[in-house]
Amino acid sequence: MKTSAAWFSALALVAFALLAGCGNETGPADNGPLTAVNDTPDQNPISQGAPTAATDGGVPDGAVSAEVSYPIGTVLVTTADLSLHDTPSAAGNALRVMPNGSQVVTVNVTTSQNLFLNVKFSGIEGWASAKYLQKYVAPAPAPPKPASPVDGAIARAKAGVGFSYWWGHGRWLSTGPTSSTKGTCSGNCPSCSHGGSYGADCSGYVGKIWQVPSSNSNVAVDSHPYSTSSFVGSSSLWSTVSRSSLHKADALVYNSNGEGHILLFESGDGWGNLWSYEARGCAYGIVHNLRSCSSAYKGIRRTGY
């Protein structure tokens, strides 16, 4: 009985071993031993070789993938910090790093080599990756600023310089005077004689420069709506200002005992020497000159100036 029991135990162990070694017939087929996807460790191209700028190793979206050509002298701009090399390769010696947005000029050859372009930057010639260069497009010029009311007034004043003094009138050409259009004045105004179709007296000149009233806007149309007695008084179109605070296109005016004068202030000291535009008188005409004003004058400013 002991022998039979031993034999039975041995048979049971063999059966158990056979069952443990059996495969699953419904499982995946044997495709051989597993292998690594890459036989070598992953490599970051940015960290390999000689490049000194990260841009030499990566490929930006939309980068060129074939050789490109530009005429010699074409201005290009870098789209990233970019190395300038001594050969058409990222493995070449880096001469310097060109900051993002730098302008370079193509030299020597028209077509890239190994996707590197021969360029000059800050007097240094070298090779730079065409992947990070694009043709420079000059920005559109900023639209001109609209002339301020003050600038417009000064422009009208300048156009009048050189025309004659014409008592009781205000008219000149925006293109300035010529020998045939400037006019003449002789005698003592108001009993003076004028020849020609253009000129102005002091108040006609400032009224036209200031465009008061608003209908008095065309310098070529004769108009004389105000005298110095008007300007020395109050109005919704101008107001009194301190002579120490005068600015460009203000005016200085006086009127006393039936006499008066008005001039346009440009710059300088309101109580000392100042540059002015004025219809100075029959013997002078309309002038731009350096002068001073007595204490009889007061400062006035055009509303909106």
C-alpha to C-alpha distance for 245 and 265, rounded to whole angstroms? 11
DSSP 33: S
- 9 in any annotated domain: no
The domain that holds 99 is classified in CATH as 2.30.30.40
Q: What is the pLDDT of residues 71-117, one digit of tens each?
A: 999 999 999 999 999 999 999 999 999 999 999 999 999 999 999 99
Residue found by looking up tokens 């200002």 in the block: 241
Asked if 225 and 268 sit in the same domain, the reply is yes
Asked if 185 and 284 sit in the same domain, the reply is yes
Pair of tokens at residue 30? 């044997």
Boundary (domain end) residue, out of 135, 160, 192? 135
Asked if 240 and 271 sit in the same domain, the reply is yes
The domain that holds 154 is classified in CATH as 3.90.1720.10
Boundary (domain end) residue, out of 73, 102, 135? 135
Asked if 105 and 246 sit in the same domain, the reply is no
- 141 in any annotated domain: no
Q: What is the pLDDT of residues 137-147, one digit of tens each?
A: 999 999 988 88
Q: Is the dihedral of CA 166, 169, 170, 172 positive or negative?
A: negative
In this predicted structure, the answer to whether residue 212 has a pLDDT above a threshold of 60 is yes
pLDDT, residue 145, reads 83
Band of pLDDT at residue 61, cut at 50, 70 and 90: low
Percentage above 70 pLDDT, the chain: 80
Share of the chain residues as helix, strand and coil, in percent rounded to the nearest 5: 20, 30, 50
Asked if 106 and 187 sit in the same domain, the reply is no
Q: Return mean pLDDT, the chain.
A: 85
- 159 in any annotated domain: yes
Band of pLDDT at residue 60, cut at 50, 70 and 90: low
Where does 82-164 have alpha helices with state H?
A: 149-160
Asked if 95 and 213 sit in the same domain, the reply is no
| Bridge partners, 77 (sequence order) | 103, 134
Domain assignment of residue 165, given as a range = 149-302
CA 103 and chain centroid, separation: 18
Asked if 288 and 257 sit in the same domain, the reply is yes
pLDDT, residue 144, reads 87
Q: How many CB atoms neighbour CB 164 within 10 A?
A: 24
The C-alpha R_g of the chain, in whole angstroms, comes to 45
| Bridge partners, 262 (sequence order) | 253
Q: How many domains is the chain built from?
A: 2
Band of pLDDT at residue 56, cut at 50, 70 and 90: low
DSSP 86: S
Asked if 156 and 267 sit in the same domain, the reply is yes
